[in-house]
Every structure is written in structure tokens, then in C-alpha cells.
């Protein structure tokens, strides 16, 4: 039986390939495929963005080799960055003292 982390890695791979290759190369995400993935799989993150060009900026940042596509390694950089940000928020929430109501 796979561990939670193994299932998470499998899910990450599965999600990437669900969107990769719907147009063009089956091993990369085009700008449109990345947008669809983010709108579907990261909708809460996108809703919190004030910039309507957020996906285009993310694409530019992720496309390390400048080929106009995001490969799995480049995609994982996005997931890692978002995970680090979420972990920082998690730590802030854990550090807040519980509010005690007085009657």
C-alpha cells in the first residue's frame, strides 16, 4: 500500500500528464494547457491573484529553458514554490495563540 507521500507524487505526475499534450507535445504544457491546469487544479490560488496576467507571468518564470513549453521539471518548481508559501502560512496559523472568550 503506497504511503501518503507516494500517493501525492503519483497524483502530481497524473495531473501534469492529464493536461500535457492536449495540444502538441505530450510531455510538456503549452501556455493554454498550463492555464487550463491552473484554472482547474489551482483555482483558489488563481482567484487570490489580483493580476489577470498571472498565468502568463508564471509561464514566463517557469519556462527555464525558454522553449515556450513547461516540462515536468519546470512544473514541479511551481508546485514546490506554492507548497513553500502554503507551509509558511500554515506555520503562521499554528503560531497564533488561541483566543479565549470571556463571558
The CATH superfamily holding the domain 4-95 is EF-hand (1.10.238.10)
Question: What is the sign of the dihedral through the CA atoms of 21, 25, 28 and 34?
Answer: negative
Q: Which of 70, 67, 65, 68 is nearest to 38 (CA)?
A: 70
**5 alpha carbon, distance to own chain's centre:** 16
- 66 Cβ partners below 8 Å, 6+ apart? none
Q: Are 64 and 27 in contact (CB under 8 A)?
A: no
Task: Dump pLDDT digits (tens) for 36-95.
Answer: 998 899 888 777 776 778 788 888 888 888 888 999 999 998 899 888 887 888 788 887
Q: What whole-number distance in Å separates Cα of residue 37 and Cα of residue 57?
A: 15
The pTM of the full predicted model, rounded to 2 decimals, is 0.78
Amino acid at each position: 500500500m503506497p504511503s501518503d507521500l507516494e500517493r501525492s507524487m503519483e497524483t502530481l505526475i497524473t495531473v501534469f500528464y492529464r493536461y500535457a499534450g492536449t495540444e502538441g507535445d505530450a510531455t510538456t504544457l503549452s501556455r493554454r494547457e498550463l492555464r487550463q491546469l491552473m484554472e482547474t487544479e489551482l483555482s483558489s490560488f488563481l482567484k487570490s491573484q489580483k493580476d489577470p496576467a498571472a498565468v502568463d507571468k508564471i509561464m514566463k518564470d517557469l519556462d527555464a529553458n525558454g522553449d515556450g513549453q513547461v516540462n515536468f521539471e519546470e512544473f514541479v518548481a511551481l508546485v514546490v514554490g506554492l507548497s513553500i508559501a502554503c507551509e509558511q502560512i500554515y506555520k503562521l496559523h499554528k503560531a497564533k495563540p488561541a483566543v479565549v472568550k470571556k463571558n
